[in-house]
Chains A and B, each alone.
Chain A
Amino acid sequence: MDFTNHKMAPLFTINGRTVYMTQSIFGTWVVMGILIAFTIFVRIYMRRKHFQDVPKTGSLQNVLELAVESMHNMAASNAGKDLDWLGGYFFGVFAYILLCNYAPLLKLRPPTADIATTIPLALNTFLLIHVLGLVRRKGEYLKDFVKPVFLFLPIHIIGELARPLSLSFRLFGNILGGMIMMDLLYISLPIFLRIALPDAIHLYLDVFVGALQAFIFSVLSMTFIRERASLEEE
């Protein structure tokens, strides 16, 4: 049994150390390619001829507007009305994590089953929390760290550092666990049973858990940002 991230081809060499294209880098490129191709297609398709002021029910424009608007509403209700512009960023994060989690459906290794994919995503959230907090609430933001007395400062700092850690490990652990369970199932089944039977488990471990984890990552990030950066009164 081997669940490691295999090297596929050497990319380039720095200081005598070769950087390899691993399975998760390949998966990331495929996901990026799909997302970029789709955005370019939408950009060109929606330009003139197909744009409607009131889109027909079920047309592509209708579906896209529904997706953008629901993400905007999610940001407004979770991150606060004054931070609803974060919906654009979290739409990108959601789409990226969702497609990464769905990569096993294309027989790729899911890029989110690699800790190097999830930690940068969580660090983005960490930066957003603290930069937005410092810029928008200034003194109030710093005062939060010494509530109720100064002695609590180390506890607050550890709590803040634990957030990106738990965000990244949650996504990583869930997807890696799903991947290992699928691989074990494929190894243990005889070849003639590998056609239809694993699909039901794909439906749960990849489709359901993948969508749930993408949703939870974005919603939890927005909730954390609201706690530190929103000017809205509770």
Chain B
Amino acid sequence: MDSVLAMSALAAGIAVLTCAGAGIGQGYATGKATEAIARQPEARGSIMSTLLIGAAVAETTAIYGFIIAILLLFANPLIK
């Protein structure tokens, strides 16, 4: 039982590593948006809202990993 709990904690730690991918994606999107605003400052409003939506979509994978970590820590299905 204890080893299952310990392994679950490790698995939760590995599951939140998905945030690395989301971070890279959001950074890349923000860099491109900055380039776009520098090239066309008058389109700032629409670029910003598109960036926010894109960042939220990129964040989804990180949220999935986070939810799996939360499940493993607080609602573990492996422990009766």
Give the B-binding residues of A (Cβ under 8 A): 3-4, 166, 169-170, 172-174, 176-177, 180, 212-213, 215-216, 219-220, 223
Contact = CB atoms under 8 A, between A and B. Distances in A.
Interface of B: 49, 52-53, 56-57, 59-60, 63-64, 66-67, 70, 74
User: Which of A169, A173, A180, A219 is packed against the most chain B CB atoms within 10 Å?
Assistant: A173
Contact of B70 (A176, A212, A213): A176
A213 B59 CA distance: 11
Given A3-B74, A4-B74, A173 B63 contact: yes
Contacts of B56: 170, 212-213, 216, 220
A169 B64 contact: yes
Contacts of B74: 3-4
B63 to A, nearest CB: 4
A216 B52 contact: yes
B23 to A, nearest CB: 14
Contacts of A4: 74
The 8 closest A-B pairs by CB, nearest first: A173-B63, A216-B56, A166-B60, A173-B67, A173-B66, A170-B60, A170-B63, A177-B66
A143 to B, nearest CB: 26
Contacts of A215: 52
A4 B49 CA distance: 34
